[in-house]
Amino acid sequence: MPPKKRRPKETAPVAIKGVIDGAGEVVQQKIATTIEENYMPYAMSVILSRAIPEIDGFKPSHRKLLYTMYKMGLLTGGRTKSANIVGQTMRLNPHGDSAIYDTMVRLSRGYEALLHPYIDSKGNFGKFYSRDMAWAASRYTEAKLDPICSELFKDIDRDTVDFVDNYDNTMKEPTLLPATYPSVLVNANTGIAVGMASNICSFNLKEICDTTIALMKNADHDISSTLPAPDFSGGGQIIYDKKVFDEIYKTGRGSFKMRSKYSYDKSANCLDITGIPQSTTSEAIIEKVIQLVKAGKLKEIADIRDETGLDGLKITIDLKRGTDPDKLMLKLYKMTPLEDSFSCNFNVLIGGVPRVLGIKELLDEWIAFRVECVRRRTYFDLNKKKDKLHLLKGLQAILLDIDKAIKIVRETPEESQVVPNLMAGFGIDEVQAEYVAEIKLRHLNREYILKRTEEIENLEKEIAELESVLASKAKIKKIIEKELAEVGKKFGQPRKSILIYADEIQVAEEEEETPDFNVNIFYTQEGYFKKILPQSLRMSSEQKLKEGDSVAYSNECSNNDELLFFTDKAQVYKTKVNEFKETKASAFGDYVPAKLNMDESEKSLYVVDTKDYKGYMIFAFENGKIAKVPLSAYETKTNRKKLTGAYSDKSPVADIIYIKEDCDIMLTSSQGRVLLFNTGAIAEKASRSTIGVNVLTLKKGHRLISAKLYNEGDLAKPSRYRTKTLPAVGSTLSAEDKAEQLSLL
C-alpha cells in the first residue's frame, strides 16, 4: 500500500502590508461567463457610445464636439484656435486631444469629406482624398461652426431633446441634436463597432428635403423619383442601375459602382482626373497605375503625377502619341481604383437599438423623431405662455383699483404680509400676488397696466393655436414640412456626382494575353515570311527557299512586335508577329499577300518590325525625290489591318528603307551616277502621302533605280559622292569603286 500523504500543518494566514488578498491566484472560470461579464459591456459600449450614429446623424464624439462649440458661441462669433475647442470638448468627451482633433478635422470644410461641412475651418486640415497629406497641429488652425449648424441647434433650449449629465456630473449635454433636416442621410458616416458596422452614403440636401416632404404627404411616395442616387463631396460619376438602388433603398444594404471624372487636354495630350470615388485616395490610384506600367500592361502612359493644388484634386496622366484617351480610361477603370464600389450599410441606433433600415424606414424614423421634437417645443412654448397669461390675469385684477393695492402695501406693517394681504384683497393666488408686489413704483400707472393687460387677448389666441397644434399631428407635420422647405432653399446646392446609366457605359474589351518571347523572323524577296524560335534555328540554320528567291530581311525580335508590310500599291498592311505560326528553317513559311488578304496582284515590297513606332521611313522615288515620314504616322488608335496612302503614288517607288535615326544613304541613278547624303538634311513630313523633296537631279529619260543604307567602306572615296547642297546630280563611280561594286555583285 502506498504511504499516506501527510497533511500540511495549518497555519494562520499572515497579513502582509501592501498585498491584495487573493492576488496571484488562478481561478478557473467558464469562457462564456468571462465573455459575458467582461467583453460584452465593452462591445455594447462601442456600439452604443462610439461607432454607430443615431437618428440625428451623429456619433457621440461628433455631438459632444459640436455642442461644445455651440456653447462657446462659435455659431455666430469669429473663429478661435482649434486647440481651444479641443480643450473645451474634453469637459464632455473623456478622450485625448488627438482623438478629438481628428474628429474635428473630418467634420471641417477644409477636409472636404462632407457635402455640407459642420465646421468652418481656416488653415491646413488635410484632404479626404489624400492618404499622405497630413493636417496641421491644432495650435496652428482655427475654426467656428458653419451656418448650417443653426439648423442642428435650433430650439435646443426649448426642451426639444433630453439632456444628461456628462461623465463627471459637472455639466449637462444633449442626448440628440434637434436637427431640422435628415442630417443622417445628408453627410456620409462610417463606423466599425464590435460585430457590426455602419456605412451611410451621403445624399443631396435639396433632394432629401423634397423626398421627406413628399413622404410626409404620401406614405406610398416613390423614393427614387425624388432621390435618384447618392451624392458625394468629391463629385465623380455614379453608375446608375435602378434595380441596384431600389434594393439599397429597400433593405439598407448593397453596393454601387463609382467612376472618376476626367477631361482630356488635347494641347498637352494628357488626361486630368478631377474627381475620384469616395472609397479611394489619389496615392492609391497613382501607385496602381505605376505598378501596371512597370508590368507592361499600360503601354499608352508616358507619365503620371499628382498636381493637386488650391483648385482641388488633380491627377495628370501624360499619354503617348496616338493614344485614344477614352479607350485608355476604360482600361484604367477596369484595372485601377479609378472605378470602385461603395458598400452601403444603413445601420443606425433607434432608441438605443442598432437597426439596418431602408431609406423609407429611416426617413419615417426621422419624421417620428422630429414630430416629437416639435411637439415638445410646442408644449414648452404653451407652458411659458400659460405662465405669462396667469401673471397678467393677476395684473388685470388690480386694474380695478390700483389705489387699493397701494393702500394694502402701505398699510401692511410687515413685508412678509404683503403677498398674503394682496391675495386676500384681490382674490389672486400667491404667484400672481408675488408678481404684483414686485412691480416698480414707476409702473403703478394705468397706462402701463393697460398695455400689459392688452397682451392677454393675444396670448389667449396663441395658447389656443398651440393647443390645436398639440392636438393635431397633421399640423405638426405641416410645421416640419415648412422647415424642410426653408432648409432646402437656404442650404441646397446642385448635385456634384454625375449619374451615368449602366446600360450606356462602355466596358474595356477583353484583351487576350499573348506570351512574349524572342523569335527570329525572315522575309524573302518573293513575299514569304518565317517565324522561327532561336533553339530551332540553332538546330538547323539553313533556310529553305523557292528557286530564285532570297532573304531580303531578317531580325531577332519579340513575339508581340508589330509588323508593317509596304506594298507596290502604296498601301501598308499591319499585323503582329504573334499572328504568324512558328515554323522551321526547312519550311517555305507563310505567303504574306495571301496571309494578309492583299489586293489582287499586289506585292509586298518591304517589312518593318517595331515595338514603339520610333524612327523614320525613307521612300526613294524614281523621279529623284526622297520622302522622310516618321514611323509613328502609321500608328493607329484602333487595330486597323490596312492603311491606304502609305506613301505618295505620284511617282513609282524605287526603294523603301526603315531607319531608327538619321544616317547616310547612297542613291544610284540609271545613268550610273551615285549620290551620298545624310537623311538629316531632309525635313520629316507628318503626312504619309508627301511627295518628298528633290535630292537627286536626273537628266531626261533617266530615273533613280536604288537607295541603300551606306556602310563604312562601301565606297573607297565617299567624299567624292557627297555634296554641300541638295538637290545634286551625283558623281560617276571611280575605277576603284566600280571594281568594288562588281565584287559585291
Instruction: Cite the active site residues.
Output: 140
* 340 touches 445 (CB < 8 A): no
Residue with cell string 502604296: 570
From residue 133, alpha-carbon distances to 108, 125, 126, 175, 283 in Å are 15, 9, 5, 34, 10
**CA dist., res. 679 & res. 206, Å (int):** 67
Residue 1: helix, strand or coil by DSSP? coil
Residue with cell string 459642420: 118
User: 254: which residues sit within 8 A by CB, 6+ positions away?
Assistant: 244, 247, 248, 343, 344
Measured distance between the N- and C-terminal CA atoms of the chain, rounded to whole angstroms: 118
**β-pairing, 653-659 with 642-644?**
unpaired
From residue 567, alpha-carbon distances to 13, 547, 598, 646, 648 in Å are 109, 22, 9, 9, 12
Nearest-10 crossing angle of helices 97-106, 82-89: 120
How many Cα neighbours within 13 Å face the side chain of 745?
6
**CA dist., res. 697 & res. 720, Å (int):** 16
**CA dist., res. 101 & res. 570, Å (int):** 71
* 201 touches 188 (CB < 8 A): yes
CA angle centred on 721, ends 716 and 727, rounded to 5°: 165
**CA dist., res. 666 & res. 715, Å (int):** 10
Residue 397: helix, strand or coil by DSSP? helix
Residue with cell string 479626404: 128
